[in-house]
Each structure stands twice: as structure tokens, then as C-alpha cells.
């Protein structure tokens, strides 16, 4: 009985990510003196939370069998838009709502292009990445002079409560909410059905287009949320925000058990994947390894994980006798 | 012309439908040329046109393999970093090991070919999504490029390797002439040769082609290797032109490639595509960029416009595909 439970845990998709995280924590504890330093843990939280928020959106899409390359640009655009709104002298809640609105609009455009028009997800979101980046940079010239956000806005980024940042509490709430949503809510289960077999889901009567559209919209809003917290933490928008974050989230989700084929993935997996990526970055910083090497490592890991995923998939198909 | 895109004979009705998608790129490029030369006095002079076409010719080598793959319904996202990889290896071989340009390029192409073969093997053997694997390769190679190029900062390539790209035949760079020759030869081969036509069959329906005895996986693997090798070749030439290895060489090239191939009539669903039209697609993009710069359009707005064009081209592609089906 004991062994069965052990086997079950190992077979879970998330176990790869958990295993990798444990290895990294061990390496960091042994090799670096300052890993457990509160300051390091704080900086880990700050780099981890926005990425994890975006990774949730990415995970929803991966479960449906889609993905979004434009999250980084959406994040950048939202952060700069937040700067613009607060320069216009709007009150803080309005600024936040408008920023989330910008993310929602971008997400809806993505969703429209992919689900209604039917464009390949890669190409539609790559195009939107370009559009978003260009739009953000146009706005950037006006926001460049902004010194700092309002005090109340900054609390979102710097405020602490019970030893953790406000944003970490928000993230924990999101983890619980989304876990319940994916596991028990009918809406969450629909995502898996659409990803597992879209035709069948359509025949049963699910509106697959609407589900996909909503998933993209949610990703847009989550990117905007990440932008709000991130920009609040560094007091003003920067033009480098969100660079490469689509890749980070994407790889994190794939490592955390998401599959490009759809129908697989969980919130915990996404979180573990993001923890892994943050720890990896942290390791490169703390051990003073060249940051360029990180790209090589991440690329190789991605290829390995994708290959493993494909191998498992083929094995499953063979077992079912489909090939 | 109409057999070009599918590799099979079409009846009259089908031909008509086809040509609508087929020749659009020619009209677009011509219209853009006429418009720019009428409105901008600086546009229509030899140096400007030559520099546009030279940019196209360097990128063209990267789009050869890309077009092969897109015909078969696969995407190679690693072209951009492979392009840069060519420059990095040129830097290493020419500066550190004092090789001359020719052997350096050949060696770089061999190394890239091996990487391409590996990713092709993984993709075909484990039935992986080509985009995911090549994104991984892209990251790894990009990281390697950064690492090596930061070590080589400030060192130019030796004069001999810098100058050989600038050689001219008549008044035109040899790279451009090579591009034209290669494009025409490949176009003829794609239409006539049994081996090249296999790609269209694979793109149309892979299962059936395997039943008919075409080794689809092997063809794909070879094409991934070809794509990597030729991108490296183009990147090496580009690096010789900019005089030192540079990380910005080939950045975002994959987006340019997809746009160029799709406005050149290729379909991301596979089964359609043509070499000369992909080249024209590149020419269109570079002319557009040149024109936008001549009009002093902000480079960020240029990005927005290119993104919108990409999406529009794909929507048109979907429309055409839906009509044919």
C-alpha cells in the first residue's frame, strides 16, 4: 500500500518540477551562504509572484491546448499604461481598474483572433506581441518623466503583512481559488475537455470558442495584474518589464506538467514550474555564474522536457493501441 | 504556375481560385515600389535598391529551409538564433583559430547541420511539436551566442573575411546574384523534381504519403538540417558585412520569416509554398521597412505595422484555405 502511494506520486505530472525544485534548493543551501537570508527570500518572492500570476493564465491556455506569446508585451503595455493613468491624476483604484481593463482588451483581441477568426495561436500572439510592444513604446515617451507612483499604489508592491508581501497573499488566494476552480467547478473542467478532445467537447455541446476566448481574456487580466504588482514594487514603470517572461512562463508550465497537446496541467504544477525558474535565476545570481549560460540551460531543459512529454504521449498511444 | 503550389495538376476552376492567392505578392510589391518611387525622391536610386536587395539576399538563405519546412507543415523558430550562431562561429574560428573565411563558414555550417539533425530527429522520432523543440534550440543557441559574443566584444573579423562579402560581379554583389540563381533553381526543382515534390505531398497528408512509401520523417529531418545550415550561412555573410559578431544579428528573424513566407503564398497548414514567392515576400517586407524609414515613421510604429501585416496575412491564408476546402 505504501509503495502504491509512492508510485502514484511519482507518476504525477508535477513530480518532475517538484523534484527539480528540491535539487535546486539543496544545491543552493549547500553552495551559497546567503540563500536563506531574509533579503534573498524577499527578492525571490518579488520575482516569483508576477511570473506565477502570468503562468496561471498560460496554464489555462495550455490545458486547452493553446498558448500566448504576447503576455510579456501585455505586461509592459499595462505597466506603462498604469504610469500614464496615474500621471493623468486619476485616483489609485481607478488607475488599477483601467490597467486591468487594458489587459482585458489585449486578452480579448488575442482570444478573438485565435478562437473566432481561427488563426494559429503562435502567429496571432506573436503578431500581438509586436503590436503590444510597439504601442507600449509609443506611450513610454510620455511616461518616461514619471518619478514615482502614488504612495497608496506603492503599498501594493512594498506592503508587508505577516512577514509576506501583499502580493504574495494575493497569489496564495489565487492559487487556492484557481485550484478549486480547475478541480471542482464545471467551468474549469470544461477547459480539460476542450483540451483533451476538442471535437468531442463540441459534440457534447460545449461552446469551445467561448471557453477559449475567456481563457485568453483571463490571461490578459492576469498579465495586467502582474504588471500592477511589479510596477508598484519598483515604484515606476520601466521599458524592460516583461522581457522574455512569455518564455519563462511557458517553460515553467511545461516543466510543471502542462502539455502542448492540451488536456493536462494544474495550478500547483504551474507554481512549481515558476518556483523552479525563479530558483534557477537565483542560483545563477548567487553562485555568480554567467547569466548568458542560463539561456543555454533553460533551452536544453525545455527540449528535454518536451521530448519526455512526447515520449510519454507515444507510450500512452501505444498502450491504447492507436499506433 | 498553378501546378507549382501543390505539385499536382489542377483543373481550370481550381487554377482560377489558386492564382488569386498566388500572384498577390507580386502586385503588392510592385505597387509599393511604384508608390515609393513616385513619392520619395531618395527611394529610386541604385544604392538604396542595392542595399534593400542585399538585405533580402542574406535573409533569403535562411528562408530556404524555412520554406521547405513550412511546405511540410512544420515551423522552425530557431532560424534567428542560428543566423546569429553563424556569426558567432565565424568570430571564434577566424579570430581565435585564425582560419580563413571559406573553411570557417563550411565548418560552421556542418556544426549547425548537426544541431538541426538532432532537433529534426527528436521531432520526428517522438512526434513532438516542431515549434516547441525549436524554441528550446533557439534559447540554447541564443544563450551560447551571447556568452561567446560578450567575450569577443570589440574584436573585428580579419580583413580578408570582412572583404569577401563585398566582392562584386559587375556592379552587383555576388550574394545577390547567388540568391537569384539559387531561387530560380529551387523553384524549378520544387515544381519538377520528384524528390522536392515529396514535400508538398507530406504537407498535404502525411499519413497517406507514408502509406505510399515516402520516407516522410527522413525528408523532414534533412530539411531541419538544411534549414539550420543555410541560416548559418546567411548569418555568416551578414556578420562579415557588419564586420564583427553581434547579438542583434538575426533577432526576431523568425517573425520576419513567417510573415514573408505567408504573404508569399505559403500556408502554415502545410502543402503550399514557393521559393521565389517567399523571396518576394522578404523583398516586400524590406521595401516596406525602407519606405517607412524614408517617411520617418517611428520604429515602434513600424513594429506595430509589421505585427498587423502578419495577422492580416494569416487571416487571408485561412480564408484561402477554407475556400479551397
pLDDT digits (tens, 9 = 90+) for A186-240: 888 888 988 888 888 888 888 889 999 999 999 999 999 999 999 999 888 888 8
- Cβ contact (<8 Å) for A306 and B136? yes
Q: Where are the alpha helices (DSSP H) in chain A?
A: 2-11, 15-31, 38-64, 71-87, 92-111, 121-143, 151-158, 166-184, 186-196, 198-204, 208-233, 245-255, 267-286, 291-320
Check CB contact under 8 Å for B143 and A122.
Answer: no
**pLDDT tens profile A229-246:** 999 998 888 888 888 888
pLDDT of residue B2: 39
H or E segment to which residue B242 belongs: helix B216-242
Bridge-based pairing state of the strands B172-173 and A164-165: unpaired
- pLDDT, average across residues A62-89: 92
Total count of residues recorded for chain B: 325
Q: Which of the four pLDDT bands, split at 50, 70 and 90, describes residue B309?
A: confident
pLDDT in tens, B81-113: 999 999 999 989 988 888 888 899 999 999 999
pLDDT at res. A10: 64
The β-bridge partners of B172 are B169
Please give the Cα distance from B109 to B246 (Å, whole number).
Answer: 18
Q: How confident is the model at residue A107 (pLDDT cuts 50, 70, 90)?
A: very high
Distance from CA of A156 to the nearest CA of B (A): 31
User: What percent of chain B is predicted at pLDDT more than 90?
Assistant: 36
Residue B314: its chain A contacts at CB < 8 A?
119-120, 123-124, 127
Cβ–Cβ gap B133/A296 under 8 Å: no
Interval A156-187: pLDDT, tens: 888 888 878 888 999 999 999 999 999 899 88
Interface test with A, best of B77, B297, B304 (most A CBs within 10 A): B304
Q: Is A187 exposed, middle or buried (0-12, 13-18, 19+ CB in 10 A)?
A: exposed
For B169, list phi and psi in degrees, rounded to 5.
-110, 120
Assigned domain for B17 exists: no
Residue that wins the pLDDT comparison between B277 and B22: B277
* Of B307 and B111, the one with more pLDDT: B111
Looking at mean pLDDT, say which of A7-11, A76-80, B243-247, B309-313 comes out highest. Answer: A76-80
Q: Quick one: average pLDDT of A109-113? A: 94
Q: What is the CA radius of gyration of chain A?
A: 20
Strand, coil or helix: B215: coil
Domain assignment present for residue B293? The answer is yes
pLDDT for position B18:
44
Contact of B96 with chain A, judged by CB distance below 8 Å, is answered with no
B150 contact residues in A (CB cutoff 8 A): 292
Percent of chain B with pLDDT over 70: 93
Asked whether residue B316 is domain-assigned, the answer is yes
Closest CA relative to residue A242, chosen from A89, A118, A105, A140: A140
Cβ of A295 within 8 Å of Cβ of B126? The answer is: no
B325 touches chain A (CB under 8 A): no
Q: Which residue of B has its CA nearest to A315?
A: B126
Which residue(s) pair with A161 in the sheet? Answer: A164
> Band of the pLDDT at B235, cuts 50, 70, 90?
very high
> Does the beta-carbon distance from A131 to B307 stay under 8 Å?
yes
CATH code, domain carrying B124: 1.10.3470
Please give the pLDDT value at position A250: 86
**B127 in a domain, yes or no?**
yes
Distance CA(B144)–CA(A108), nearest Å, equals 37
CB-based contact B55:B116 (threshold 8 Å): no
Measure the CA angle with vertex A190, ends A188 and A193; round to 5°.
125
What pLDDT score was predicted for residue B9? 54
C-alpha cell at A308: 519526455
Looking at residues B100-129, what average pLDDT do you find? 92
B75, B126, B307 member nearest A314 (Cβ) = B126
- The residue extents of the domains of chain A are 46-282
What ipTM is given for this predicted complex? 0.80
With b for 16 or more beta-carbon neighbours within 10 A and e for fewer, the B171-180 pattern comes to: eebebbeebe
> Of A29 and B324, which is predicted with more confidence?
A29
Highest average pLDDT, of A29-33, A268-272, B19-23, B201-205, comes from A268-272
Decide if B164 is inside a domain: yes
Does residue B4 belong to any structural domain of this protein? no
Domain containing B84 equals: 24-324
Yes or no, beta carbons of B304 and A130 under 8 Å apart? yes
* Alpha carbon separation from A150 to A83, A97, B55, B125 (Å, rounded): 10, 15, 48, 56
Count of other CB atoms within 10 angstroms of residue A205: 6
What confidence score (pLDDT) does residue A255 get?
Answer: 85
DSSP three-state, residue A165: strand
pLDDT at B10: 52
What is d(CA B223, CA B218) in angstroms, rounded to the nearest whole number? 9
Inspect the interface and report whether the beta carbons of B307 and A134 lie closer than 8 Å.
yes
Higher pLDDT, B168 or A106: A106
pLDDT in tens, B268-305: 778 888 888 899 999 999 999 999 988 888 888 888 88
Residue % of chain A over a pLDDT of 90: 37
| pLDDT of residue B7 exceeding 70 | no
The nearest alpha carbon in chain A to B304 belongs to: A131
A80 contacts on B by Cβ (under 8 Å): none
B304 domain-assigned: yes
pTM of the full structure:
0.83
Summary mean pLDDT of chain A: 88
Q: What pLDDT sits at residue B112?
A: 96
- When divided into structural domains, chain B yields a total of 1
Compare CB distances from B142 to A128, A137, A295 and report the shortest one's residue.
A295
Q: Residue A261: pLDDT band by 50, 70, 90 thresholds?
A: confident
Model confidence at B16: pLDDT above 70 = no
pLDDT exceeds cutoff 80 at B19:
no
Mean pLDDT calculated for residue range B260-268: 84
Q: Does A2 touch chain B (CB under 8 A)?
A: no
Task: For residues A260-288, give the mean pLDDT.
Answer: 89
| Whole-number Å distance between alpha carbons of A214 and A110 | 10
Q: Are strands A164-165 and A160-161 parallel, antiparallel or unpaired?
A: antiparallel
**Average pLDDT estimate for A7-17:** 73
Instruction: Determine, yes or no, domain membership for B6.
Output: no
Rounded to the nearest angstrom, the gap between the alpha carbon of residue A306 and the centroid of all alpha carbons in its chain is 18
3-state DSSP assignment of residue B65 = helix
Q: Check CB contact of A307 with chain B, cutoff 8 Å.
A: yes
Per the model's pLDDT, the better-predicted residue between A132 and B20 turns out to be A132
Q: Is A152 within 8 Å of chain B by CB?
A: no
Cross-chain CB nearest to B258 (options A123, A138, A301) = A123
Q: How far apart are CA B245 and CA A295, in angstroms?
A: 19
Q: Establish if B139 touches chain A: CB-CB under 8 angstroms.
A: yes
Amino acid at each position: 500500500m505504501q509503495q502504491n502511494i509512492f508510485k502514484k506520486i511519482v507518476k504525477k505530472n508535477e513530480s518532475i518540477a517538484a523534484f527539480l525544485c528540491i535539487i535546486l534548493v539543496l544545491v543552493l543551501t549547500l553552495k551559497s551562504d546567503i540563500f536563506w537570508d531574509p533579503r534573498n527570500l524577499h527578492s525571490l518572492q518579488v520575482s516569483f509572484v508576477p511570473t506565477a500570476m502570468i503562468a496561471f493564465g498560460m496554464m489555462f491556455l495550455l490545458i486547452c491546448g493553446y498558448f500566448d506569446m504576447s503576455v510579456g508585451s501585455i505586461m509592459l503595455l499595462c505597466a506603462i499604461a498604469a504610469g500614464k493613468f496615474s500621471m493623468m491624476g486619476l485616483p489609485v483604484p481607478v488607475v488599477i481598474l483601467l490597467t486591468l481593463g487594458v489587459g482585458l482588451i489585449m486578452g480579448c483581441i488575442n482570444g478573438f483572433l485565435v478562437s473566432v477568426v481561427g488563426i494559429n495561436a503562435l502567429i496571432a500572439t506573436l503578431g500581438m506581441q509586436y503590436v503590444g510592444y510597439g504601442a507600449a513604446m509609443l506611450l513610454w515617451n510620455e511616461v518616461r518623466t514619471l518619478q514615482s507612483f502614488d504612495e497608496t499604489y506603492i503599498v501594493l508592491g512594498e506592503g508587508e503583512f505577516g512577514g509576506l508581501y501583499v502580493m504574495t497573499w494575493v497569489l496564495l488566494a489565487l492559487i487556492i481559488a484557481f485550484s478549486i476552480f480547475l478541480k471542482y467547478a464545471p467551468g474549469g473542467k470544461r477547459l480539460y475537455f476542450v483540451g483533451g478532445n476538442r471535437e468531442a467537447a463540441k459534440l457534447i455541446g460545449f461552446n469551445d470558442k467561448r471557453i477559449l476566448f475567456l481563457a485568453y481574456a483571463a490571461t490578459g487580466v492576469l498579465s495586467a495584474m502582474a504588471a500592477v504588482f511589479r510596477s508598484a514594487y519598483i515604484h515606476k514603470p520601466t521599458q524592460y518589464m516583461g522581457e522574455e517572461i512569455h518564455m519563462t512562463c511557458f517553460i515553467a508550465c511545461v516543466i510543471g506538467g502542462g502539455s502542448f497537446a492540451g488536456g493536462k496541467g494544474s495550478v500547483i504544477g504551474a507554481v512549481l514550474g515558476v518556483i523552479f525558474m525563479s530558483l534557477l535565476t537565483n542560483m545563477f545570481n548567487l553562485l555568480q555564474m554567467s547569466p548568458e549560460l542560463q539561456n543555454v540551460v533553460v533551452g536544453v531543459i525545455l527540449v528535454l522536457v518536451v521530448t519526455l512529454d512526447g515520449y510519454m504521449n507515444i507510450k500512452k498511444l501505444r498502450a491504447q493501441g492507436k499506433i | 504556375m498553378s501546378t507549382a503550389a501543390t505539385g499536382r495538376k489542377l483543373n481550370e476552376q481550381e487554377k482560377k481560385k489558386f492564382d488569386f492567392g498566388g500572384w498577390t505578392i507580386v502586385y503588392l510589391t510592385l505597387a509599393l515600389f511604384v508608390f515609393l518611387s513616385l513619392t520619395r525622391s531618395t527611394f529610386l536610386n541604385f544604392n538604396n535598391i542595392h542595399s534593400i536587395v542585399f538585405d533580402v539576399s542574406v535573409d533569403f538563405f535562411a528562408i530556404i529551409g524555412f520554406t521547405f519546412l513550412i511546405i511540410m507543415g512544420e515551423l522552425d523558430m530557431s532560424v534567428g538564433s542560428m543566423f546569429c550562431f553563424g556569426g558567432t562561429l565565424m568570430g571564434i574560428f577566424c579570430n581565435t583559430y585564425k582560419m580563413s573565411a571559406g573553411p570557417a563558414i563550411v565548418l560552421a555550417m556542418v556544426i549547425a547541420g548537426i544541431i538541426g539533425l538532432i532537433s529534426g530527429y527528436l521531432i520526428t522520432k517522438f512526434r513532438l511539436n516542431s515549434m516547441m523543440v525549436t524554441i528550446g534550440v533557439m534559447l540554447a543557441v541564443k544563450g551560447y551566442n551571447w556568452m561567446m559574443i560578450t567575450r569577443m566584444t570589440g574584436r573585428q573579423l580579419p580583413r580578408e573575411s570582412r572583404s569577401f562579402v563585398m566582392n562584386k560581379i559587375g556592379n552587383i554583389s555576388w550574394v545577390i546574384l547567388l540568391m537569384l540563381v539559387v531561387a530560380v533553381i529551387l523553384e524549378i526543382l520544387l515544381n519538377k523534381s520528384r524528390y522536392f515534390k515529396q514535400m508538398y505531398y507530406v504537407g498535404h497528408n502525411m499519413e497517406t504519403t507514408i502509406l505510399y512509401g515516402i520516407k516522410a520523417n527522413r525528408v523532414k529531418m534533412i530539411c531541419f538540417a538544411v534549414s539550420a545550415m543555410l541560416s548559418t550561412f546567411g548569418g555568416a555573410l551578414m556578420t562579415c558585412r557588419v564586420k564583427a559578431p553581434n547579438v542583434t544579428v538575426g533577432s526576431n528573424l523568425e517573425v520576419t520569416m513567417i510573415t514573408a513566407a505567408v504573404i508569399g503564398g505559403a500556408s502554415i497548414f502545410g502543402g503550399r509554398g514557393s521559393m521565389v514567392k517567399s523571396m518576394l515576400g522578404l523583398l516586400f517586407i524590406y521595401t516596406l521597412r525602407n519606405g517607412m524609414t524614408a517617411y520617418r515613421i517611428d520604429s515602434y510604429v513600424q513594429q506595430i505595422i509589421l505585427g498587423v501585416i502578419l495577422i492580416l496575412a494569416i487571416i487571408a491564408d485561412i480564408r484561402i484555405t477554407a475556400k479551397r476546402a
